[in-house]
Amino acid sequence: MAMKNPFKSSKFVFFFLALGLFVVLFFYLWNSQSTRVAKGDKMYGGIFSYALSEPLTSLFPLETNSLSDLRVISQLFDPLVKQSDSKGTIQNCLAEKIELKDNGKCVYIRLRKGVLFHKDDCFAGESRELTAYDVAFTLSFACSKNKQNQSSNLLVGKIVGSEQFYKNNENPLEKLVIGVQVIHPSLVKIVLTKPYNNIIQLLSHPSLGIISKTACAYYKDAFQKHPVGSGPFYLGSISEKGVKLYRNNDYWSFDELGNQLPFLDEININTQTALSDEYVLFSQKKVDLLFDLPANQLDLAFGTLSEAKKGKNLLHRVHIQKASKINYIGWDVSKPPFNNLYVRQAFELAIDRNRICNEVLSGDGQAITHGFIPTSNFYSNPFLSDVQVDLKTAKNLMQKAGYFPSRSFPKIPFYVNAQLGSTSDLWCRDVCRQLAKIGIQAFVVNVSTKERDQKIINGGALLWKAGWVGDYPDAESYLRLFYHGPNNKENLVKFENQHFDQLYLKSTLTKNAQEKKALQRMCESIVANDCAIIPVYSEDFFVMINLRVRGFEMNSSGIIDFAKIFLKELKNKN
Find the CATH number of the domain harbouring 302: 3.40.190.10
Whether residues 185 and 260 share a domain: the answer is no
For the ranges 44-48, 89-93, 275-279, 322-326, the one whose mean pLDDT is highest? 44-48
Question: What's the sign of the alpha-carbon dihedral 573, 542, 474, 167?
Answer: positive
Q: Answer whether 550's CB lies under 8 Å from 565's CB.
A: yes
User: Residue type for 392, please?
Assistant: K
Whether residues 336 and 484 share a domain: the answer is yes
Residue 320: its H or E element: strand 316-331
The SS3 assignment for 270 reads strand
DSSP 328-354: EEEE-TTSTTTT-HHHHHHHHHH--HH
C-alpha span between 468 and 493 (Å, rounded): 13
Q: What is the pLDDT of residue 135?
A: 98
> Is residue 110, in this structure, part of any structural domain at all?
yes
5 φ/ψ angles, rounded to the nearest 5 degrees = -85, 105
pLDDT in tens, 446-490: 999 989 999 999 999 999 999 998 888 789 999 999 999 767 778
What value does the CA radius of gyration of the chain take, rounded to a whole number of Å? 27
- Among 183-187, 386-390, 540-544, 549-553, the range scoring the smallest mean pLDDT is 540-544
Q: How many domains does the chain have?
A: 3
> Is residue 74, in this structure, part of any structural domain at all?
yes
> Is residue 4, in this structure, part of any structural domain at all?
no
What is the mean predicted confidence (pLDDT) over 438-449? 95
**Predicted model pTM:** 0.85
CA dihedral 189, 191, 194, 197 (to 10 degrees): -10
C-alpha span between 59 and 227 (Å, rounded): 7
Whole-number percent of the chain with pLDDT over 90: 67
Residue 517: its H or E element: helix 513-529
pLDDT in tens, 139-156: 999 999 999 998 998 999
* Residue 237 DSSP class: E
C-alpha span between 212 and 6 (Å, rounded): 59
- Neighbouring-strand partners of residue 469: 325
C-alpha span between 16 and 25 (Å, rounded): 14
C-alpha span between 471 and 422 (Å, rounded): 26
Whether residues 195 and 246 share a domain: the answer is no
The half-sphere exposure of 532 on its side-chain side, counting CA atoms within 13 A, is 23
- Strand bridging mode 412-416 / 463-469: parallel
Q: Answer whether 409's CB lies under 8 Å from 459's CB.
A: no
- Range of the structural domain that residue 551 is part of: 242-320+541-567
Whether residues 177 and 60 share a domain: the answer is yes
- Neighbouring-strand partners of residue 127: none
Whether residues 211 and 296 share a domain: the answer is no
